[in-house]
């Protein structure tokens, strides 16, 4: 389809290379240029309104145009627009935010800041290596992640990401990064296998992998409590309870990637609380600042933090840090976002509206094109499938997901297709009426996608 591009779209294709975009197709259809936002809505260059059902990239938990959050950012820009934390310097927004994180994340003793989720996860890898060097275990360096897990796109974090597009033609994963199975019961369980049995099998497979690799070579296991970009995959019953003792047995660190899960999304402060993850460290980003300024953090348990602190004493310095890690504007946004989560009782609100949100998803499970509806709190997905068994997939994958997403945009709803799974992650301030509005066009869009699937011979 060749469409007449607007002036803005022409400037866009001539000047930008877009992430996660097919550049050739983009040149034909042009960018969707968003200009403003208010609450759960954003507005494009033509003034059209869209309900932003993904909170941008899973980050704008307080929606768009929040005055209190915007003012906190502006105030910090005027007061101290930049400073750093290198060589013992500090500033109050970083101190206050680290204190807040410690207060909310049980078991976490120290916080080190970065700017992005990828940098947080690269930092996790480096700190796991540094920790084991400090302990005199130079062989203990391998990192285990899960297929379909998403941990970022820098070289180490992309090595942990378990999705094909992040490896194909990027010469990744690096050595020392290995993967284990996806905890997706509907897709991966054996016939008749209960969730508990499936969890036990995955834990057993993890143990076999660690034994095969040699426990003295395995440093850490990283997992999102609820997998996000892999298709919003909710762990089966007993999963982390089964995994945790295996990690403890072999002295393997447990990194909880809370970049999407963190800050009320799953109905608790962290996904680790919802699923008994009991991590040794956490990666935080996105809703940490509500998306109003870039910031990420690694929170470490006391034991790991103390070993690292002592080791810097021996070496002379912690040879790691980013110019913008702990940027005062990002930290001020983080402090304000957490204050707002607490003062406006966002956690209670998520718990209150989640049944309506999850109810809408479950109702759509009966549509002939929907194989599975899943979710927790205010995050969820519909997976399109040729049948309900979980054993079949569309070929080519992703065509119907893209079609469904297009139908929704045409009706004023922005969601994200991950292959043939349609993700939902609205701003957490969403009201029950807005949840109804988010789902209102869904059946019509699924019907249109089903008609397209029939015309294309996909069903």
Q: Tell me how far, at minimum, the Cβ of 158 lies from ligand PMP, in Å.
A: 10
Q: How many residues bind ligand PMP (CB under 6 A)?
A: 15
Contact 66, 340 (CB under 8 A): yes
The answer to whether 146 contacts ligand PMP (rule: CB under 6 A) is no
* Segment interacting with ligand PMP, rule: CB under 6 A, options 46-54, 150-158, 389-397, 450-458: 150-158
Distance, C-alpha 179 to centroid of its chain: 18
Q: Tell me how far, at minimum, the Cβ of 450 lies from ligand PMP, in Å.
A: 30
Q: Tell me how far, at minimum, the Cβ of 121 lies from ligand PMP, in Å.
A: 6
β-pair type (379-384, 218-223): unpaired
Site string for ligand PMP, 242-261 (x = CB under 6 A): ---------------x-xx-
Distance CA 208, CA 222 (A): 17
Site string for ligand PMP, 269-308 (x = CB under 6 A): ----------------x-----------------------
CB atoms within 10 A of CB 251: 14
Nearest-5° Cα angle at 154, 148 to 159: 40
Distance CA 80, CA 70 (A): 16
Contact 10, 17 (CB under 8 A): no
The answer to whether 151 contacts ligand PMP (rule: CB under 6 A) is yes
List, as one string, the DSSP characters of 29-72: H----EEEEEBTEEEETT--EEEETTHHHHT-TT-B--HHHHHH
Contact 242, 199 (CB under 8 A): yes
Chain residue whose CB lies nearest ligand PMP: 117
Q: Which of 63, 117, 238, 371 binds ligand PMP (CB under 6 A)?
A: 117
- Give the up-direction half-sphere exposure of residue 183: CA atoms within 13 A in the CB hemisphere: 32
Q: Tell me how far, at minimum, the Cβ of 153 lies from ligand PMP, in Å.
A: 6
The answer to whether 128 contacts ligand PMP (rule: CB under 6 A) is no
Q: Tell me how far, at minimum, the Cβ of 324 lies from ligand PMP, in Å.
A: 12
Contact 286, 262 (CB under 8 A): yes
E strand map for 342-424: 370-376, 379-384, 413-414, 416-418, 421-424
Distance CA 321, CA 81 (A): 19
Per CB under 6 A, contacts with ligand PMP among 176-235 are 224, 228-229
Q: Based on CB atoms, which residue is closest to ligand PMP, 222 or 347? A: 222
Per CB under 6 A, contacts with ligand PMP among 339-378 are none
Q: Tell me how far, at minimum, the Cβ of 431 lies from ligand PMP, in Å.
A: 25
Q: Which of 9, 76, 114, 116 binds ligand PMP (CB under 6 A)?
A: 116
Q: Tell me how far, at minimum, the Cβ of 172 lies from ligand PMP, in Å.
A: 15
The answer to whether 152 contacts ligand PMP (rule: CB under 6 A) is yes
- Give the up-direction half-sphere exposure of residue 94: CA atoms within 13 A in the CB hemisphere: 26
Q: Based on CB atoms, which residue is closest to ligand PMP, 118 or 132? A: 118
Distance CA 107, CA 278 (A): 8
Site string for ligand PMP, 71-110 (x = CB under 6 A): ----------------------------------------
Residue located via tokens 């700017």: 115
Nearest to 372 by CA among 384, 360, 380: 384
Question: Contact positions toward ligand PMP, by CB under 6 A?
Answer: 57, 116-118, 121, 150-152, 224, 228-229, 257, 259-260, 285
């Amino acid at each position: 389809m060749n469409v007449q591009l607007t002036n803005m779209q022409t400037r866009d294709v001539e000047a930008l290379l877009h992430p996660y975009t097919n550049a050739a197709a983009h040149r034909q259809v042009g960018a969707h240029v968003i200009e403003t936002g208010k609450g759960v809505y954003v507005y494009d260059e033509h003034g059209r309104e869209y309900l932003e059902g993904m909170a941008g990239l899973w980050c704008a938990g307080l929606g768009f145009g929040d005055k209190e959050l915007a003012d906190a950012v502006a105030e910090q820009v005027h007061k101290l627009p930049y400073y750093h934390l290198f060589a013992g310097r500090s500033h109050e927004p970083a101190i206050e935010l680290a204190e807040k994180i410690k207060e909310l994340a049980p078991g976490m003793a120290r916080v080190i800041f970065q700017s992005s989720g990828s940098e947080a996860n690269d930092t996790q890898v480096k700190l796991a290596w540094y920790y084991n060097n400090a302990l005199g275990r130079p062989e203990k360096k391998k990192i285990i992640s899960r297929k379909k897990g998403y941990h970022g796109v820098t070289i180490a974090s992309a090595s942990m990401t378990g999705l094909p597009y992040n490896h194909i033609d990027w010469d990744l994963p690096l050595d020392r990064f290995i993967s284990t199975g996806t905890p997706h019961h509907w897709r991966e369980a054996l016939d008749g296998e209960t969730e508990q049995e499936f969890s036990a099998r995955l834990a057993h497979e993890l143990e076999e992998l660690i034994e095969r690799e040699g426990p003295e070579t395995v440093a850490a296991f990283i997992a999102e409590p609820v997998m996000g970009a892999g298709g919003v995959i909710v762990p089966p019953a007993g999963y982390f309870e089964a995994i945790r003792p295996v990690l403890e047995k072999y002295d393997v660190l447990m990194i909880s990637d809370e970049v999407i899960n963190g800050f009320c999304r799953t109905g608790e402060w962290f996904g680790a609380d919802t699923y008994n993850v009991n991590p040794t460290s956490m990666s935080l980003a996105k809703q940490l600042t509500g998306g109003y300024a870039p910031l990420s953090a690694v929170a470490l348990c006391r034991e790991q933090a103390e070993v690292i602190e002592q080791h810097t004493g021996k070496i002379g310095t912690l040879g790691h840090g980013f110019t913008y890690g702990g940027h005062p504007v990002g930290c001020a946004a983080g402090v304000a976002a957490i204050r707002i989560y607490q003062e406006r009782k966002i956690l209670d609100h998520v718990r209150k509206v989640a049944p309506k949100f999850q109810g809408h998803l479950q109702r759509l499970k009966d549509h002939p094109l929907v194989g599975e509806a899943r979710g927790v709190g205010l995050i969820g997905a519909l997976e399109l499938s040729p049948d309900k068994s979980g054993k079949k997939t569309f070929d080519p994958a992703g065509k119907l997901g893209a079609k469904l997403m297009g139908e929704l945009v045409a009706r004023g709803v922005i969601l994200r297709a991950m292959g043939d799974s349609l993700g939902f992650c609205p701003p957490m301030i969403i009201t029950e009426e807005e949840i109804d509005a988010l789902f209102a066009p869904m059946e019509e869009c699924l019907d249109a996608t089903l008609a397209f699937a029939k015309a294309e011979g996909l069903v």
